[in-house]
């Protein structure tokens, strides 16, 4: 995937990519290597441990989905935690989450080594290092290419495992209890099972990986929650049933020492071809995990560097649109861990930081909701708030405790190192305070007002959804011009005068609302810079826009979110608190058109030309239904019965200066002002009646 000309990551990942990235990140060592280690500690109850771990991951999955749809930015969990809890915690989370991903991917390479020796007479470690180099390379080339490879690998793994489970479960049901290795089921008691739940929780660490690439997902509001839910469900099912088959068909004394347990189980239930495919599926799973891991982990150094928590050179994006330095650093770290640690140590250490990160993610949701920042507008909200988040935090604390002293010490040491790095390097390089300061408004000046603007911009980056009426927003917009010498307060008052009639609030309150919100984006341009102030109101259902043009320019002071810049047009967008996500997405779409079409807005001779500049793919026509005019025959007709040409729609209906919702059963009246939008080739030329067939 290529980056855009501004050096930003571009959106090219669909639902299938979200599912494959998350599933591929989970279906590796947790399935093909870890069951033997888990069974050695919990006996047949390891089956239950995998199921419990999947269920306990649900609160974290819901919270990650909420945060990813509110803040679809590269950096995933780090970005959420830094913006919610502040740069100090964000530094700890960034280092820790990156390290947990590195450890998890190294764990996959250990599993790959165990399966490679089954089919190749080579040095498995050196081959594993070569494969790390290969996936590092394809992640440098581009994330869409990486995600496409991921999709193929995951589809193959699921297909082969489906065959294995069908044959394996048939074998399970055919055996008697005494011949199934399931008795006794609890060999170490319930405490032993919960300790193993903590060990196998690393298997679900892929939940955060999609969030780290959220900035590259098309329509993240819909695809991230659905993709993650599907992924967690499929992974939990495959884990639980796969471990069940392995426990039943492989003798305990062999299983407990086996680093390739699914291969051994396949030998008991599948023909030679199936056994060979299991080996290939395992290698594909390990490869997809490393691929997804490098892709996700590389976004953490990039995001931290962009925030000033790491040197800026670590945050550069290459000509391929990928964070090359982060990719190479991640691949190198995975290789180093493979050479140093054994499988169980890697699993425990990785689980500890996965659990810590997911616990903090649940805390971030609590803080962001309590902050009441208006631009925190997730398209998906975790149900049963705040109980879901409290349950997720409790799960993390309990399972880290169950892992034992070494992982706990590891978490502590890395946290202290990261905190020290922030104190001596990053503290003076960032001014953000985190949303937690908004929870405690009594801290006054320490509240970070810039966070609202940043969240607005992140939400706007979602892109339009099918139900977002951008055409209608532009069509019903009012266009004003102000003389030289007008300042932003006067411009805001002019816009507020128009909006007050549409919103139903006094002009002064409308102006205050824009100033209070402080959400303003500046679109720089050499010939026609613009700015878009955004405010949300409780009393409206439809978004409203007033465009104020100032040929001589208007200065944007700090009180309005600027730093003295001069702009030639202001786009006052009044959104609705009932659907803030839609309002912010519309603002983002408007900003994208202004990025390339601002000059046309400045050169437009009239209101229709201004609107046409903001709808370059369509043509606008504006008509007034005078009783004696060309379109008098439309008075008294319903909007739904007009019979407009194909592709032409009624984008706005203004009656007595107030916008009327466009519904099929709305009856047109005398003096109504209609705005039509449609393709240029079918739109009627100016001065001709509206072509209708009804």
Range scoring the smallest mean pLDDT among 31-40, 244-253, 615-624, 685-694: 685-694
Note the pLDDT of residue 582.
81
Domains and CATH numbers, the chain: 15-424 (1.20.1740.10), 463-613 (3.40.930.10), 619-678 (3.30.70.1450)
Note the pLDDT of residue 316.
66
Note the pLDDT of residue 146.
54
Residue 212 pLDDT greater than 70, yes or no: no
Cα distances (Å, whole numbers) of residue 325 to 139, 263, 314, 338: 11, 37, 6, 20
The string of pLDDT tens digits covering residues 300-354 is 777 778 777 788 776 667 666 667 777 888 888 888 887 887 777 888 888 888 8
Note the pLDDT of residue 591.
76
Residue 389 pLDDT greater than 50, yes or no: yes
Q: Provide the sign of the torsion angle of the four alpha carbons 199, 201, 204, 207, taken in this order.
A: negative
Residue 546 pLDDT greater than 90, yes or no: yes
Report yes or no: 597 and 523 within 8 Å, Cβ to Cβ. Answer: no
The CA distance from 139 to 144, in Å, is 9
| Pairing of the two strands 649-655 and 544-556 | unpaired
Range scoring the smallest mean pLDDT among 101-110, 395-404, 415-424, 626-635: 101-110
Nearest of 234, 225, 286 to residue 260 by alpha carbon: 286
The string of pLDDT tens digits covering residues 522-532 is 777 777 788 88
Q: Which of the four pLDDT bands, split at 50, 70 and 90, describes residue 430?
A: low
| Pairing of the two strands 658-659 and 519-523 | unpaired
The model carries a pTM of: 0.68
The string of pLDDT tens digits covering residues 435-454 is 555 554 434 444 555 555 55
Nearest of 293, 273, 319, 384 to residue 97 by alpha carbon: 293
Residue 12 pLDDT greater than 60, yes or no: no
Tokens of residue 124, six digits: 């498995």
Beta bridge partners of 571: 547
Q: Which residues have a Cβ under 8 Å from the Cβ of 463 and sit 6 or more positions away?
A: 11, 218, 219, 585, 588, 589
Mean pLDDT of the chain: 80
Nearest of 81, 104, 324, 42 to residue 211 by alpha carbon: 81
Note the pLDDT of residue 195.
84
Tokens of residue 651, six digits: 């984008």
Note the pLDDT of residue 258.
86
Q: Which of the four pLDDT bands, split at 50, 70 and 90, describes residue 20?
A: confident
Report yes or no: 528 and 602 within 8 Å, Cβ to Cβ. Answer: yes
Residue 386, preceding peptide bond in cis (omega within 30° of 0):
yes
Q: Which of the four pLDDT bands, split at 50, 70 and 90, describes residue 6?
A: very low
Q: What distance lies between CA 248 and its chain's CA centroid? A: 40
The string of pLDDT tens digits covering residues 645-659 is 888 888 888 888 777
């Amino acid at each position: 995937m290529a980056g855009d000309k501004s050096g930003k990551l571009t959106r090219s990942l669909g639902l299938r990519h979200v599912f494959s990235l998350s599933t591929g990140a989970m279906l590796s060592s947790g399935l093909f290597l870890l069951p033997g280690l888990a069974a050695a500690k919990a006996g047949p109850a390891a089956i239950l441990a995998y199921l419990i771990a999947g269920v306990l991951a649900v609160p974290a999955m819901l919270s990650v989905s909420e945060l990813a749809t509110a803040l679809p930015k590269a950096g995933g969990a780090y970005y959420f935690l830094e913006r919610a809890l502040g740069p100090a915690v964000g530094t700890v989370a960034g280092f820790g989450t990156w390290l947990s991903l590195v450890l998890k991917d190294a764990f996959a390479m250990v599993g790959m080594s165990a399966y490679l020796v089954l089919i190749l007479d080579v040095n498995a470690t050196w081959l594993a290092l070569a494969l790390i180099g290969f996936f590092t390379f394809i992640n440098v080339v581009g994330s869409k290419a990486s995600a496409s490879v991921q999709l193929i690998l995951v589809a193959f793994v699921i297909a082969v495992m489906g065959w294995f489970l069908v044959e394996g479960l048939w074998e399970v049901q055919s055996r008697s209890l005494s011949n199934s290795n399931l008795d006794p089921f609890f060999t170490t008691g319930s405490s032993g099972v919960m300790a193993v739940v903590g060990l196998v929780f690393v298997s679900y660490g892929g939940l955060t990986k999609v969030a780290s690439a959220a900035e590259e997902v098309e329509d993240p509001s819909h695809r991230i929650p659905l993709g993650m839910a599907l992924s967690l469900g499929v992974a939990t099912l495959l884990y639980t049933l796969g471990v069940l088959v392995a426990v039943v068909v492989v003798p305990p004394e062999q299983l407990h020492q086996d680093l390739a347990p699914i291969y051994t189980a396949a030998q008991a239930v599948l023909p030679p071809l199936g056994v060979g495919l299991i080996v290939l599926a395992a290698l594909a799973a390990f490869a997809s995990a490393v691929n997804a891991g490098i892709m996700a982990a590389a976004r953490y150094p990039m995001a931290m560097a962009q925030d000033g928590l790491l040197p800026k050179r670590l945050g550069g994006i290459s000509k391929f649109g990928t964070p090359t330095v982060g990719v190479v650093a991640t691949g190198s770290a995975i290789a180093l861990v493979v050479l140093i640690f054994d499988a169980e140590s890697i699993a425990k250490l990785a689980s500890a930081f996965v659990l810590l990160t997911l616990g903090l993610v649940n805390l971030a949701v609590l803080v962001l909701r309590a902050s009441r920042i208006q631009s925190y507008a997730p398209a998906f909200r975790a149900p049963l708030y705040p109980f879901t988040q409290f349950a997720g935090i409790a799960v993390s604390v309990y399972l880290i405790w169950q892992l034992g002293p070494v992982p706990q010490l590891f978490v502590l040491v890395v946290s202290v190192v990261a905190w020290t790095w922030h104190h001596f390097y990053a503290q003076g390089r960032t001014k953000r305070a985190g949303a937690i300061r908004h929870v405690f408004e009594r801290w006054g000046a320490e509240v970070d007002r810039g966070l609202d603007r940043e969240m607005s911009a992140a939400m706007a980056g979602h892109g339009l959804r099918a139900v977002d009426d951008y055409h209608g927003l532009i069509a019903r917009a009012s266009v004003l011009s102000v003389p030289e010498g007008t300042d932003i307060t006067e411009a805001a008052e002019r816009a507020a005068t128009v909006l007050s009639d549409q919103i139903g609030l006094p002009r002064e309150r409308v102006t205050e609302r824009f100033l209070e919100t402080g959400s303003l984006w500046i679109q720089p341009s050499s010939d026609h810079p613009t700015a878009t102030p955004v405010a949300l109101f409780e009393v409206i259902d439809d978004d409203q826009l007033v465009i104020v043009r100032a040929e001589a320019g208007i200065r944007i002071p700090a009180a309005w979110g600027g730093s003295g810049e001069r702009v030639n047009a202001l786009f006052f967008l009044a959104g609705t608190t009932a659907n803030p996500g839609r309002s912010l997405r519309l603002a983002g779409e408007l900003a994208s058109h202004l990025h390339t079409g601002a000059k046309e807005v400045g050169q437009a001779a009239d209101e229709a030309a201004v609107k046409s500049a903001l709808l370059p793919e369509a043509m606008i026509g504006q008509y007034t239904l005078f009783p004696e005019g060309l379109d008098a025959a439309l008075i008294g007709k319903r909007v739904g019965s007009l019979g407009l040409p194909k592709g032409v729609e009624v984008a706005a209906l203004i009656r007595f200066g107030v916008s009327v919702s466009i519904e099929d059963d709305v009856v047109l009246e005398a003096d109504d002002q209609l705005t039509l939008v449609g393709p240029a080739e079918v739109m009627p030329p100016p001065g001709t009646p509206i072509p209708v067939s009804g």
